[in-house]
A and B are shown apart, each in its own frame.
Chain A
Amino acid sequence: ELKVEQNPLFLSMQEGKNYTIYCNYSTTSDRLYWYRQDPGKSLESLFVLLSNGAVKQEGRLMASLDTKARLSTLHITAAVHDLSATYFCAVDRLGGADGLTFGKGTHLIIQP
């Protein structure tokens, strides 16, 4: 059974600070996805990481993937209030129209 674990599950931080969210998964996969969800809203795709060592950046968010360690990180630089949301990582098994297995999500609150 594929398991995806995120930590921390809750994070309260101040604007301007840096922090990292971790995502571990239990099986061989080289496809890792990060999504953002605002309260009561749908999931917005942030990053798709498709190979070992992949690094992608968008604004204050940077995601990386280490397939050997089965670990992805989402790093937040100089956080701003607008980044407050729940962040999910997800993994799919190799090949086909696979459903994604999501982590429990990291509920991020950024305080002014």
Chain B
Amino acid sequence: EPEVTQTPSHQVTQMGQEVILRCVPISNHLYFYWYRQILGQKVEFLVSFYNNEISEKSEIFDDQFSVERPDGSNFTLKIRSTKLEDSAMYFCASSPGTGPETQYFGPGTRLLVL
């Protein structure tokens, strides 16, 4: 069964450093998303991406964040200058895009900013 994959599974970085989180969405899906979940809290929407551009973004997704689809398979989230409060689990998701449908979530990247 097709699934969303994410790398790395864990990342530790120093405050102020740039990190890139990578995702491979399900191959025939058209919509891609990033969410984050701070430990023990609810899942929060960051950004959605369709047709090579941002479709929607939340207040969390400020200028420190960017997304890119550098090729036909990868979807990346970049945090330019990490802060302590960026420590969270980051989930990538994708959906087919033919209507209101389930978003399929990847296993997540646990980011720890020291």
Do residues B105 and A43 form an inter-chain contact, with CB atoms below 8 A?
Answer: yes
Do residues A97 and B105 form an inter-chain contact, with CB atoms below 8 A?
Answer: no
Do residues A104 and B42 form an inter-chain contact, with CB atoms below 8 A?
Answer: yes
Residues of the A chain whose Cβ atoms lie less than 8 Å from the Cβ of B50: 97
Do residues A99 and B105 form an inter-chain contact, with CB atoms below 8 A?
Answer: no
Give the number of residue pairs across the A-B interface with Cβ within 8 Å.
60
Residue B72 CB within 8 A of the other chain = no
Number of interface residues of B (CB under 8 A): 28
Chain A residue at minimum C-beta to C-beta distance from B59: A1
Do residues B41 and A104 form an inter-chain contact, with CB atoms below 8 A?
Answer: yes
Among the stretches B11-19, B78-86, B94-102, the one at the interface with A is: B94-102
**Within the assembled complex, what's the spacing in Å between the Cα atoms of A83 and B26?**
27
Residues of the B chain whose Cβ atoms lie less than 8 Å from the Cβ of A44: 105
**Within the assembled complex, what's the spacing in Å between the Cα atoms of A77 and B114?**
44
Residue A58 CB within 8 A of the other chain = no
Residue A96 CB within 8 A of the other chain = yes
What is the 8 Å Cβ interface bit string for chain A, positions 8-49, against chain B (1 contact, 0 not)? 000000000000000000000001010100000111110010
Residues of the B chain whose Cβ atoms lie less than 8 Å from the Cβ of A100: 35, 43, 45, 103
Q: Which of A88, A97, A102 contacts B31 (CB 8 A)?
A: A97
Residue A50 CB within 8 A of the other chain = yes
Chain A residue at minimum C-beta to C-beta distance from B101: A48
Do residues B56 and A97 form an inter-chain contact, with CB atoms below 8 A?
Answer: yes
**Within the assembled complex, what's the spacing in Å between the Cα atoms of A48 and B103?**
10
Measuring CB to CB, which residues of chain A are less than 8 angstroms from any residue of chain B? 31, 33, 35, 41-45, 48, 50, 88, 90, 92, 96-105
Measuring CB to CB, which residues of chain B are less than 8 angstroms from any residue of chain A? 31, 33, 35, 41-50, 55-56, 58, 91, 95, 97, 100-108
